[in-house]
Structure 1
Amino acid sequence: GASDRGIDLLGTWTLPPLPRPLRVIVQCKALASPRPSSVRELEGAFVGAPTGWRSEGEGEGERVVGLLVAPGASTKGVRDAVGRSRWPMGFVCCDRETGTVRQFIWNQAAVREGLEGVGVGWRHEEGGGEGRLALTWKGRPMDLGVEEGERVQKEAGE
């Protein structure tokens, strides 16, 4: 509703290689094909975020990244809007039924805010089957409890 200021979820994202968790502002869209206007709405959510959840004007250590989440893959317009934004943000394509993340991109502002060294790869199981997205740290699989027998390949263009 209007009282949430465009924010569906506030949380923290702990990545083992990082010294401190990142704060995240999440905006969910049930759009099959997200639009650049959704990115502008996420930019507005930074302004309306509670104290401690704003990226600008906060003290050192208050690292915040906004995430736009939708079931459909990003369009070129969405990728361009995320890339142009001065706010640290990313886009996540997440399957509505299974919760499987199918795409994860972020901008340079998010890299400066704390995602430097973090990447996205594709994890394949040895026996075949459907692969899945995986995070990498400085080009190597991030240790998030990855099971033995799996490997991660860097996905071109992400």
Structure 2
Amino acid sequence: MALRRFSLMCTNRSHLAIQRQHWRPISTVEVGTAYESLVVSTFNHLGAQLQRVGGASDNGIDFSGSWKLPDHKRFYIVGQCKHYERKKIGPSIIREWEGVMSRQEVDTLGLVAATSGFTASGIQAALSSKYPVALVTLANTEENSRLPGKYNSIRGFVWNMAAEPFIGRLMVAKRHFDIHKVDLDDPAEFSIQLFWDGKPLPADSSASQDPVPGP
């Protein structure tokens, strides 16, 4: 019996050793790429046509493209993603992003997307910017996988006065998953529903599309 038990232990250890050969840690680059893809997918579902940029020469831009809201002119978008598990984005990142925006055409909206949101001073920096900037809080991939629906990852959306000509008619409302069971102030328990002229986005089935492949 002892010999049989020893043999079983050796077999299990060998199996674990084989499994461990196939395990490898996920790099920060892979995590960041997955988050960029989530941001692109989310906004493409809302009618945008975005694609990932990435690469060493991206000049601080993670995705770009355009967005045409219903009965509204098409405008260009450039964006940056910040995937931090707990750290909120402060004013220094916003100031760096202003440098990126200073090199864009005037009909371009800048989006900064973050997993953990923005500090009060970070939001204030964006609101006081002379460049059209919108701040978007999106759940990361792991959180998004447990939510009802594929694109319910937006947890916050705010923009400054300079962005009004682009998305000034956009309306933002909280959508709670279960108001009887959850903490209504916990951002993990609600998503943001976007409306245009009182109608939820996407406006029709044609607006729901797969991400444009990036380079």
TM-score, normalisation: structure 2: 0.54
Task: Give the equivalent residue in structure 2 for 1:23.
Answer: 76
Task: Give the equivalent residue in structure 2 for 1:91.
Answer: 135
Is 2:62 aligned against 1:4?
no
Task: Give the equivalent residue in structure 1 for 2:173.
Answer: 121
Runs of at least 5 residues in structure 2 that lack an aligned partner in the other structure: 1-54, 145-150, 182-188, 205-215
Structure with a larger share of its residues in strand: 1
1:1-158 → structure 2 map (5 Å cutoff): 3-18=57-72, 20-31=73-84, 32-49=87-104, 54-55=105-106, 63-97=107-141, 98=144, 100-112=153-165, 114-123=166-175, 131-138=190-197, 140-144=198-202
Over aligned residues, Cα RMSD in angstroms? 2.6
Q: Secondary structure at the match of 1:92?
A: strand
Q: Secondary structure at the match of 1:15?
A: coil
Structure with a larger share of its residues in helix: 2
Counterparts of 1:72 and 1:127, CA distance in 2: 22
What is the number of equivalent residue pairs in this alignment? 132
User: Percent identity at matched positions?
Assistant: 30
Q: Give the structure with higher Rg (CA).
A: 2
Counterparts of 1:77 and 1:24, CA distance in 2: 24
TM-score, normalisation: structure 1: 0.72
Counterpart code for 2:194: L
Counterparts of 1:134 and 1:12, CA distance in 2: 20
Alignment check: 8 A CA contact 2:70 2:203 kept? no
- Cα shift at 1:79: 0.9
Runs of at least 5 residues in structure 1 that lack an aligned partner in the other structure: 56-62, 147-158
